[in-house]
Amino acid sequence: MRPLEGKAVLVTGASSGIGRATAFAFAGVGARLLLCARRLELLQEMEAPLMAAGASAVSSFRLDVCDRGAVDAAIAGLPPEWAAIDVLVNNAGLSRGLTKLYEDDPRDWDEMIDTNVKGLLSVSRAVVPGMVARNAGHVINLGSTAGHTTYANGAVYCATKAAEKAISEGLKIDLMGTAVRVTSIDPGMAETDFSRVRFHGDEQRAAKVYEKITPLTPQDIADAILWAATRPAHVNIHSIVLTTIDQANSTVFHRHD
């Protein structure tokens, strides 16, 4: 039995990292994949491999979740066969900078808040009413251990992930009385483009983040997302916090000799 076979799954930020791995995880159970990201060419390159991996169908479109008008237009303009979204994975997100708050670049704050908080809100606002009308659906938001424990030089990023946690909890409360589920997936250190983006392309500095640590992989996180999505319809997984065995929380790590 494959409960998600033929179901429409929308993944934001699907062109790389956790989003890409999530697309392949859902492909493996026969889902129909609706993928968006700013880099459309990467999504298009994924389409044939996703079909080969078992997806029932794949459709990709360019979208910057920071642009609320574009989000509304994209969701409202979906073809009839894609209009009923069964699972929304709000994956699009990023971190910029690792600097003391009073020395930080406000442009980095804006990008993180616009993507991690406002983007999540905009996509959810566009998609969730349809789920409520159909009395079915699942919203899966990507949080972080950073939303549970604030670390030095990361106040604004941590604040955006604390906001994601509160939004997920609040949305679940707002959806009581419906069959729509809400889950927050909160990973710790995972080796993706996260640190490269945070350090504005500084490969050397990004590599040091994972030095002498075995990090999570995007596939580990996608596995948790898929597990939450495949529970029986009456079961809501509110949150999953997952880390590598070398991490206790946002500030405590074990680095191998």
Active site residues: 157
C-alpha to C-alpha distance for 188 and 243, rounded to whole angstroms: 5
Which DSSP string do the residues of the chain spell out, in sequence order? --TTTT-EEEEESTTSHHHHHHHHHHHTTT-EEEEEES-HHHHHHHHHHHHHTT-SEEEEEE--TT-HHHHHHHHHT--GGGSS-SEEEE----------GGGS-HHHHHHHIIIIIIIHHHHHHHHHHHHHHHT-EEEEEE--GGGTS--TT-HHHHHHHHHHHHHHHHHHHHTTTSSEEEEEEEE--B-SSHHHHHTTT-HHHHHHHTTT---B-HHHHHHHHHHHHTS-TT----EEEE--TTBSSSS-B----
Nearest to 192 by CA among 163, 221, 164, 212: 221
